Amino acid sequence: MRLGRARSMRGDGAMGGAKKRAKKKTKKPAQAEIAAKATSPAKSKGKSKDKSKATPEPLYLTEEDVKSLVTVKDAIATLEELFATWSDPATVNLPRQRARAGDSAFNLMGAAWGAKALFGLKAYYIGSGGARSHVLLYSSRDAKLRAMIESDNLGRMRTGAASGVATKLLAKPEARTVGIIGTGQQAFTQVAAVCAVRRIESVLVFSPTAEHRDAFAKKIEQQLRVAAQAMPAAEAAVTPADVVIAITKSAEPVLRANWLKSGVHVNAAGANAAARREIDAETVLRATVRATDQLEQARVEAGEYRDLIAASRLRWQDVVELGDLVTGKAVGRRGPADITLFKSLGIALEDVAFADLICRRALERGLGKPMP
């Protein structure tokens, strides 16, 4: 890959039939299936549109459209397909750029996926007036804009999916317990993605606010059908866990290395700016595999890695890219005692690839509005 600026449960059972058939037990759904259903597309209340009258491109797709079209499981499959092309020179990611004005910030990031003849960008604003986020998707086959997509839900799913891919590659196959620090908007898709790739049996939840952790644990039990428990302290959520998720915007570490048990996998997925740090230095140093989405973007945004490199305690050569783990170019977990780490930043390639699937499904189902 060329980097950066240089080249990123129906029982439909039949209505009739013998009574014996009606008495058959329903097969318990697999964990991954439950996780997928938890974020499954909502069924449309109206009639499906005639495909012959599909909305012409370019499409404008809303947050509700996105939620009705795709799931976290879809995002995981998409990212696996994307990262399989990581070594292709036509797979290009442009790291995020930030423009700040007072307490507000505009963020811009772009990418090209040559294997699919796609280009695109993600632009989002965060400030006193709220937040707005859109992905623009272009085709190089006809040089046309294909879609403009509201991308809050898209972003939550693809961020969860990146952690899902990393967990699938790095966590122990027998991992059954998740510990999560953070219960904000990005947290649920993180848990859903891990449940989609491992047979998770329990989730331990910590947030500084008791009401938040209680509500989040209930949400997991209701939507993922996994036992969940609110914990009084971060350490209590982390120590028994096989997979740990940190999903906060903290400027100081919320996760300590001495809380981690042997063989754990860590997804540090909330801090995507140089001034933020979710995990302490010893967590990074104890890890036998240290991964990130893209090294070039990590050099700008991964504070936990940057600090150690500046102090000559780590080298960038000690950090691997997620795409190289997917393609087998980089070695993952070597043994059951290894501690593995994925420092998630979120890159434009992930947005563009997932936007393509969303756009194609919208055209198939006649969803979206035409843009002028």
CATH T-level topology, domain 162-347: Rossmann fold (3.40.50)
**Using CA atoms, how far apart are residues 210 and 259, in angstroms rounded to an integer?**
21
pLDDT at residue 8 greater than cutoff 70: no
Each residue's pLDDT tens digit, 206-231: 999 999 999 999 999 999 999 999 99
Q: Are 269 and 246 in contact (CB under 8 A)?
A: yes
CB 39 within 8 A of CB 195: no
- Which has the closest alpha carbon to 31: 198, 166, 221, 203? 198
Q: What is the pTM of this model?
A: 0.87
* Domain pair 33-154+350-370 / 162-347, same fold: no
Predicted confidence at residue 363, as pLDDT, reads 96
Closest CA to 154 of 96, 224, 74: 74
**What pLDDT is recorded for position 313?**
98
The domains of the chain are located at 33-154+350-370, 162-347
For residue 101, name the pLDDT band (cuts at 50, 70, 90).
Answer: confident
pLDDT of residue 281: 97
pLDDT at 36: 55
Q: Are 189 and 183 within 8 A, CB to CB? A: no
Q: 33-154+350-370: what CATH class? A: alpha beta
With beta carbons less than 8 A apart as the criterion, state whether 132 and 124 touch: yes
Give me the chain's average pLDDT, please: 89
Q: What is the mean pLDDT of residues 197-213?
A: 98
Other CB atoms within 10 A of residue 279 CB: 25
CB 112 within 8 Å of CB 119 = yes
CA 195, CA 190: separation in Å to the nearest integer?
Answer: 9
**Tokens found for residue 18:** 């013998």
Secondary structure of 88-146 in HEC code, one letter for each residue = CCCEEEEEEEEEEECCEEEEEEEEEEHHHCEEEEEEEEEECCEEEEEEEEEECCCCEEE
